[in-house]
Amino acid sequence: MRAIKGSLKNAFIRNIRRTIAEYSMIPEGTGLVAAVSGGPDSVAMLHALVLLSKDECFRIIVAHFDHALRPESSGEEFFVSKLAHKLGLEYRTERGCVREYALSQKISIEEAGRLLRYDFLERIRNEFGVPVIAVGHHVDDQLETFFLRLFKGASLEGLCGIPPVRGNIVRPLIRVNRKQILMFLQQENISYVIDSSNLEVGTERNFIRNVVFPLIKERFESFQDSGHRTIEVLRDENQVMEDMAQQLYRASVTTQEQGLHLDRKKLLQSPTAVCRRVVMKTLYSLAGPRSRFGQSHLHLIEQLLVQKRPSGSVQLPHSIQARRTYDSICFCKGKRAFQRQPYELKINSPCIIDVPHVSVQLRFETSSLRNCGIDFKKPSVAYFDAELLSFPLFVRTPKPGDRMRPWGFPGSRKIKKILIDAKVPQHVRPLFPLVVKDNEIVWIPLIRRSGAAPVSPHTRAVLKVSIIGKADVVFRQPVTSISSSDA
């Protein structure tokens, strides 16, 4: 940014200017939504942004969310609207039903207010087509957040406090403190409103601010300065951990139709702290950055990872289900991927069909023995004598009591047992496609064919049934699959 001229060259504005530039908070030639409550922090932020915008020419839209929790809230909205008009800025406001939303969602009033406020701000951002939302968090909020999370048993990342930028939320005041904010407002003769609820001790943050901090300061007068230094050290160390977690995430997490799959072996071979971060990244990538997960949820997933049983599942907040099948942990938003209906498809002639619920196809084709190009080593292909195994055929899901006469084995075996021995995941077994003729199962793709209609030197026409697509990924089939050519 270019230098701010004249009276703007004071420490407060320079600090904010450097912060915005260092973190590229406002892309050149764009604008922002300024979240203004009317309190000293957001009012100081707005005035600082207005001063900077005169030199940098970025657009500012003022947004005020009325929580409707206090009688004076309507007066605060009026104050902000007058301020926006005085500064010549576009203005949007909304009155929320925070108490009702908290009751309906079974969350705290503070959390309900936060969710509704950010939802409103995001809608205004989209309305005006600007890239970011500026909020008035400052360095003292950092320390309050540090203690709040410390008392609740936060991770290293949680103890790092509030980041300067998170997604499209930016915090221009993150390097100034409350004392500097009040001095700026006093020097510039800028008025603001006082939220009376901030003086109470009913909420956890107010208790930290109004009770805990004054007590600590009686014994450790400069604890705030040392606390800020500690947070900076934690951030540096957290970045090292974050880089390790990013590498493990790329190596162990894959996106599939049902959700995100984590490689259990790779996670367990990694340091526990890094493994936990990968799990949390997976959860937030599904639930979104505004969701909330804690140590109790991590503990449930860790139990799923280390338990001796090869399968199991846990239900998590935000409609996320984690399901383990052998060495894979699948995270799915909602239950639909694990609760799909059986199917039965009739095949009347050579064709290609889509297998329901999975992104693979089955191809049915016939040719002469000479032109077939048989390769018995491919488990994704089965060959039959077309005269002995004629259309129509069926592709369906397993039924209770299904049995098969596998090639080269005496007697019959239960389909359920064959799928278990092949380590087909428990939630996939009810959907696994079977190729059937006259109620006889002739092929379990990737696993076994029956002894029906073998290809011999006397065969004139060959029926070739093959899988198109990454079936080993879709069905999570291990490399120990039994070839259809086994004899």
Q: State residue 76's pLDDT score.
A: 93
Amino acid (1-letter code) at residue 155: S
Q: Is 371 inside any structural domain?
A: yes
Query: What is the rounded CA–CA span in Å between residue 38 and residue 321?
Result: 41
> Are residues 367 and 448 located together in one domain of the fold?
yes
Q: What is the CATH number of the domain that holds 302?
A: 1.20.59.20
The predicted structure's pLDDT at residue 359:
67
> What pTM, to 2 d.p., does this model score?
0.64
Report how far apart, in Å, the C-alpha atoms of 131 and of each of 32, 50, 284 are: 6, 17, 21
Q: Count the domains in the chain.
A: 3
The reply to whether 133 falls in a domain is yes
Residue 1 in domain:
no
Residue 435: the pLDDT is: 97
Are 290 and 429 members of one domain? Answer: no
Domain of 26, CATH number, reads: 3.40.50.620
Are residues 214 and 282 both part of a single domain? Answer: no
In a domain, 407, yes or no: yes
Model pLDDT, residue 29 = 87
For residues 438 and 344, membership in a common domain is answered with yes
CB-based contact 430:399 (threshold 8 Å): no
Whether residue 177 sits in one domain with residue 207? yes
| Domain of 442, in residue numbers | 340-474
Predicted local distance difference test score (pLDDT) of residue 337: 46
Residues of the chain with pLDDT under 70: 1-9, 196-199, 257, 334-340, 359, 470-487
Domain shared by 393 and 456, yes or no: yes
| pLDDT at res. 5 | 42
Question: Is the residue at 483 inside a domain?
Answer: no
The reported pLDDT for the residue numbered 443 is 96
Structure tokens at 104: 């309906």
**Same domain, residue pair 20 and 147:** yes
Between 11-22 and 178-187, two packed helices, what is the crossing angle to 10 degrees? Answer: 130
Chosen domain end from 220, 239, 257: 220
Give me the pLDDT at residue 132, please. Answer: 97
3 state DSSP class of 461: strand
298 and 362 both lie in a single domain: no
Listed residues 318, 337, 356: the one ending a domain: 337
**Domain assignment present for 482:** no
- Kindly write down the DSSP assignment for every residue of 347-389, as one continuous string: E-SSEEEEPTTSS-EEEEEEEEHHHH---TT-TTEEEEETTTS
- What sections of 188-222 are H helices per DSSP? 204-207, 213-219
Q: How far is CA 2 from CA 9, 17, 57, 153, 362, in A?
A: 12, 10, 11, 43, 64
**What pLDDT sits at residue 55?**
83
- In the numeric block, which tokens belong to residue 244? 């390790």
Using CA atoms, how far residue 332 sits from 73, 262, 283, 284, 316, in Å, is 41, 11, 9, 12, 10
Q: What pLDDT is stored for residue 6 in this prediction?
A: 41
